[in-house]
Amino acid sequence: MPNAQDLLEKIQALPPERLSEVEDFVDFIGFRERERALTRRASAASAPAFAAIWDNPEDDAYDAL
């Protein structure tokens, strides 16, 4: 795993006109990570409600599918 200093050196070696691309990519990664975290939290928050609906004797036949 590269360390932060190595990454900074690579970024500093880029031509100035490429830095906006690096910044856009870093922003994209951060956005994607926040979206995934939101999805995980939403799934965890809804799990008890869905468990009450899905885990019932009437639907046991569907568990084997």
For residue 29, what are the domain limits?
16-53
Q: Does residue 42 sit within a domain?
A: yes
Reported as a single tens digit per residue, the pLDDT across 4-58 is 999 999 999 999 999 999 999 999 999 999 999 999 999 999 988 888 777 777 7
Measured CA to CA, the distance from residue 59 to residue 47 in angstroms comes to 17
- What local confidence, expressed as pLDDT, does residue 55 receive? 77
- Total structural domains in the chain? 1
Please give the residue that has the higher pLDDT: either 62 or 42. Answer: 42
- What local confidence, expressed as pLDDT, does residue 22 receive? 96
Measured CA to CA, the distance from residue 53 to residue 47 in angstroms comes to 10
- What local confidence, expressed as pLDDT, does residue 14 receive? 97
pTM over 0.85: no
Q: Does residue 2 sit within a domain?
A: no
